[in-house]
Amino acid sequence: MDINLTGRTAVVTGGSKGIGLAVVRGLAASGARVITGAKSRSPEIEELTRDKQVTFAQVDLGEPDGPARLVAMAGDRVDILVNNVGSARARPGGFLTITDEDWAASLTLNLMAAVRTTRAALPGMLTAGAGVIVMTCSVNARLPDPAVLDYSAAKAALAGFAKALSKEVGPHGIRVNTVSPGPVATDLWLGSDGVASTVSRATGARPGDIQSQAAAQSLTGRFSQAAEIADLILYLVSDEAANITGSDFTIDGGLVPTL
């Protein structure tokens, strides 16, 4: 499908790597002007910013004013908002090891960053009578896992936020959807501080074995790729999905066993 987003302005949170980077790349390739931000740069995002279609801001989206500062770089109007930034810490020690600080960090980055970015972008969308918001959620919103307990709770809250918001702004021409991946081959799972390595250090199992066990729970037997998630998001922000709102789209290789 040829998606044309020429003339549209998109804001993507957490766009320096992983799913966010793939979304930025896809939006730019489809003609959109893209503003993205993250706490740290990457060689890949630096490469993309050589094309003036992509602007990167080094910003801490966990800070209360970080999301608004990112949105302000887009100017008066944001046509597309992809709330992608998030983080998951494995909790091999269980619930009692999760501190108030851990809870606050999870809720801040996985929920409040999206709330704050949306709050900054929404007035312009309401004035224009049009706009699209996609939240990168997770299968853990409805398949909670004690190994990522606080992350699961935060993503469930994000799903609820998106659904309620879609009901409020739908009559004003603004669409809101969530995309819920299962395990994805990104640093969140496979990085040096990712889920596989964290569980490995706690249990003595090899990270590769932990990854293989997780992949085996999907019917396809593999992790999703960041580009596959990005392709779904690209479709949802396009005119081809003009009557889709208030929906959640699971992309997990069949991991979730229920409807």
| pLDDT greater than 80 at residue 1 | no
The string of pLDDT tens digits covering residues 119-155 is: 999 999 999 999 999 999 999 999 999 999 999 999 9
Residue 151 annotated to the active site: yes
Domain ranges of the chain: 9-182+224-249
Q: What is the mean pLDDT of the chain?
A: 96
The string of pLDDT tens digits covering residues 213-222 is: 999 999 999 9
The string of pLDDT tens digits covering residues 66-125 is: 999 999 999 999 999 999 999 999 999 999 999 999 999 999 999 999 999 999 999 999
Kindly indicate the confidence band of residue 43, based on its pLDDT and cuts at 50, 70 and 90.
very high
CB neighbour list of residue 71: distance below 8 Å, 6 or more residues apart? 11, 35, 78, 117, 120, 121
CA atoms within 13 A on the CB side of 159: 21
Domain 9-182+224-249 CATH superfamily: NAD(P)-binding Rossmann-like Domain (3.40.50.720)
The catalytic residue among 56, 151, 223, 249 is: 151
The proportion of the chain whose per-residue pLDDT surpasses 70, expressed as a percent, equals 100
